[in-house]
Amino acid sequence: MRLEVEKLLFLIHNFPIIMGKHFFRQGVTEKVYEKIEKYSVAPVFNTGFEVKGQWKDDLHNIHCRLVFDFDSFKIIEAEAWAESTPFPICPQGLKSISNIVGSTVGPGFNRIVTENIMGKEGCVHLGELVMNSVKALVQAASRDKPEWVETADYTQRWNDWIRMYQDQCIFFSQPGVFENSQEEIQTAFRSKK
pLDDT tens, per residue, the chain with 193 residues? 555 656 555 555 555 544 444 555 566 678 889 999 999 999 999 999 999 999 999 999 999 999 999 888 999 999 999 999 999 999 999 999 999 999 999 889 999 999 999 989 999 999 999 999 999 998 888 887 888 888 888 888 887 777 777 778 888 788 887 776 677 777 777 776 6
Cα-atom radius of gyration of the chain, to the nearest Å?
Answer: 23
Beta-bridge partner residues of 75: 68
Residue 74 gets which letter from DSSP? B
Q: What is the pLDDT of residue 37?
A: 96
CA atoms within 13 A on the CB side of 171: 7
Query: Is the dihedral angle over the CA atoms 115, 120, 123, 128 positive or is it negative?
Result: positive
Q: How many angstroms separate the CA atoms of 42 and 1, rounded?
A: 63
Q: What is the pLDDT of residue 18?
A: 46
Query: Is the dihedral angle over the CA atoms 147, 148, 151, 154 positive or is it negative?
Result: negative
Q: What is the pLDDT of residue 19?
A: 47
CB count in 10 Å sphere of residue 105: 23
Beta-bridge partner residues of 66: 51, 78
